[in-house]
C-alpha cells in the first residue's frame, strides 16, 4: 500500500477505535444513570461530557470549546444535521410567534440564529399593527465573545440590522453568563435559549435567572437536544453521533474534541420530563414540551404567571 494511503487507512482505524470506545462509555453511562442521577457526582463536581470535573472548571472548559468552534460553528451545524437545525429553529420561532412590541432575551445566542429569525419573523409579519407604534427589542446574550463576534459579522452581512430598523426593533449584544445575567428584574416579555442550557454548569440557576428577568406573563422557550425513546432509533442515533460526528468535526473543521464533547453533553442532559420539572421548580407555570424528530430535540415552554 502506498505510504499516503496507509496513513489515511490508519487515521480511519484510529477514528473508528476512538468512536467505539466512546460509544461503549455512552452505553454504560446510560445504564448506570437510571435512577441514580443525583448521586452520580460528589459535592462540587459535575460533568463535562463524560468527564467528571470540578464545578468551577466546567465553565472555562465550555468556553474553550465554543472559542475553538466559533468560526466553523455554522458550517458544522449544517453538516452534522444535514441542515435540519434550520427547520428546528424555524419551528421554534413559530412556537414563540413574536409580535411587534416583544422584548426578547436570547441567551446562549451564539452566532445569532434565533435572534435573526426573530427579526425576520417580525419583518414578515402580516399583523396590522404599525411597527412604528410598538418598539420591539432583542438582546443576544452569550458567555463567549468569539461567538458573538461571528454573530455581529453575520448580522451586518445578512442585512439583519436593516431589517431590524424596518420593524422598529433595537438589537443589543451582551457578553454574560446565563447563571448570572447583569439585567434588571421583570425586563423581557420572552426568553429563548437554544442548544445552550446543557452547557451551563448549574442549569437550575439559569432557569431561575430566566424567571427573574421575565415580566409577569412572559414566555420561556427552550430548544435543546433531548432523548430518543424508541430503542432502534436511539441505537441508530448513537451510532451516527459517536461514529460519525467527531470524525466529521476532524475532517471538516480539523477538530475532534469539541464534537466529542457535543455528543457526550447531549447524553448528560436530563430527559424531557425531568427537564420539565426543573422548569416548574424555577417557578414557571403551564410547562409543556414538544418532541421534534422523535425526541432528538425538544422544545420546552413555560410562562411566568
Ligand X SMILES: C[S@@+](CC[C@H](N)C(=O)[O-])C[C@H]1O[C@@H](n2cnc3c(N)ncnc32)[C@H](O)[C@@H]1O
Number of residues in contact with ligand X, rule: CB under 6 A? 20
142 in a labelled binding site? yes
Shortest approach of ligand X to residue 128 CB, angstroms? Answer: 31
178 in a labelled binding site? yes
Shortest approach of ligand X to residue 140 CB, angstroms? Answer: 9
Dist CA 276 CA 274 (whole Å): 5
| Residue whose CB is less far from ligand X, 62 or 207 | 62
Residues 122-151 that bind ligand X (CB under 6 A): 142-144, 147
111 in a labelled binding site? yes
Among 46, 49, 62, 119, the residue binding ligand X under the rule CB under 6 A is 62
Shortest approach of ligand X to residue 60 CB, angstroms? Answer: 11
Dist CA 268 CA 206 (whole Å): 17
| Residue whose CB is less far from ligand X, 116 or 242 | 116
Dist CA 28 CA 60 (whole Å): 27
| Residue whose CB is less far from ligand X, 49 or 109 | 109
297 binding ligand X? (CB under 6 A): no
113 binding ligand X? (CB under 6 A): yes
Element (H, E) at 212: helix 203-213
| Residue whose CB is less far from ligand X, 123 or 179 | 179
User: What is the DSSP annotation of 5-16?
Assistant: HHHHHHHHHHHH
Shortest approach of ligand X to residue 202 CB, angstroms? Answer: 9
DSSP 79: H
Residue position matching grid coordinates 458550517? 75
Element (H, E) at 154: helix 145-157
Beta bridge partners of 104: 138, 190
| Residue whose CB is less far from ligand X, 96 or 196 | 196
Dist CA 84 CA 75 (whole Å): 13
Report phi then psi at 159, rounded to 5: 70, 25
Q: Which residues are annotated as a binding site for S-adenosyl-L-methionine?
A: 111, 142, 177-178
Amino acid at each position: 500500500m502506498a505510504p499516503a494511503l496507509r496513513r489515511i487507512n490508519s487515521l480511519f482505524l484510529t477514528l473508528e477505535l476512538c468512536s467505539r470506545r466512546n460509544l461503549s462509555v455512552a452505553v454504560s453511562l446510560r445504564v448506570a444513570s437510571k435512577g441514580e442521577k443525583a448521586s452520580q457526582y460528589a459535592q462540587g463536581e459535575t460533568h463535562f461530557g463524560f468527564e467528571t470535573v470540578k464545578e468551577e472548571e466546567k465553565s472555562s472548559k465550555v468556553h474553550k470549546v465554543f472559542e475553538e468552534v466559533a468560526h466553523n460553528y455554522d458550517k458544522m451545524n449544517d453538516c452534522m444535521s444535514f441542515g435540519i437545525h434550520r427547520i428546528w429553529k424555524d419551528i421554534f420561532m413559530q412556537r414563540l410567534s413574536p409580535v411587534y412590541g416583544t422584548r426578547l432575551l436570547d441567551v446562549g445566542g451564539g452566532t445569532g440564529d434565533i435572534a435573526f429569525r426573530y427579526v425576520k419573523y417580525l419583518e414578515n409579519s402580516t399583523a396590522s399593527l404599525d411597527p412604528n407604534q410598538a418598539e420591539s427589542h432583542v438582546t443576544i446574550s452569550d458567555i463567549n465573545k468569539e461567538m458573538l463576534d461571528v454573530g455581529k459579522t453575520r448580522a451586518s452581512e445578512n442585512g439583519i440590522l436593516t431589517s431590524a430598523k424596518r420593524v422598529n426593533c433595537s438589537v443589543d449584544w451582551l457578553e454574560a453568563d446565563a447563571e448570572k445575567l447583569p439585567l434588571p428584574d421583570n425586563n423581557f416579555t420572552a426568553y429563548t435559549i437554544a442548544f445552550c442550557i446543557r452547557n451551563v454548569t448549574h442549569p437550575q440557576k439559569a432557569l431561575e435567572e430566566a424567571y427573574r428577568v421575565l415580566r409577569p406573563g412572559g414566555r420561556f422557550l427552550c430548544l435543546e437536544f433531548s432523548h430518543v425513546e424508541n430503542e432502534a432509533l436511539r441505537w441508530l442515533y448513537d451510532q451516527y453521533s459517536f461514529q460519525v460526528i467527531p470524525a466529521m468535526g476532524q475532517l471538516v473543521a480539523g477538530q475532534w474534541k469539541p464534537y466529542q464533547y457535543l455528543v457526550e453533553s447531549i447524553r448528560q442532559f436530563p430527559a424531557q420530563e425531568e427537564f420539565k420539572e426543573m422548569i416548574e421548580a424555577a417557578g414557571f407555570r403551564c410547562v409543556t414540551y414538544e418532541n421534534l424528530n422523535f425526541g432528538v430535540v425538544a422544545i420546552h415552554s413555560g410562562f411566568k404567571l
